[in-house]
Amino acid sequence: MTRAEHDGNATDAELLDFFSQLPNKDKQFCEIKGVAHIAVLGINRHRIWHVMHAFFTMPAQRSA
């Protein structure tokens, strides 16, 4: 889940509450400085794409 620095649609508390209720443990919450609600269209859109790429290319967990 990503959160833009300048986003008035929901509070940090609301988003963190929702995030904590997601059943999957393979999750991340990331607040991104310098972007607004429509992060993928802003001048700092490279920051959101970096976060998304890092999440989707995370190596698989190894078993012991």
**pLDDT tens digits, 2-33:** 888 888 888 889 999 999 999 998 899 999 98
Question: What is the percent of the chain with per-residue pLDDT over 70, rounded to a whole number?
Answer: 100
Strands 2-6, 30-36: pairing is parallel
Q: Where are the domains of the chain?
A: 2-56
pTM equals 0.74
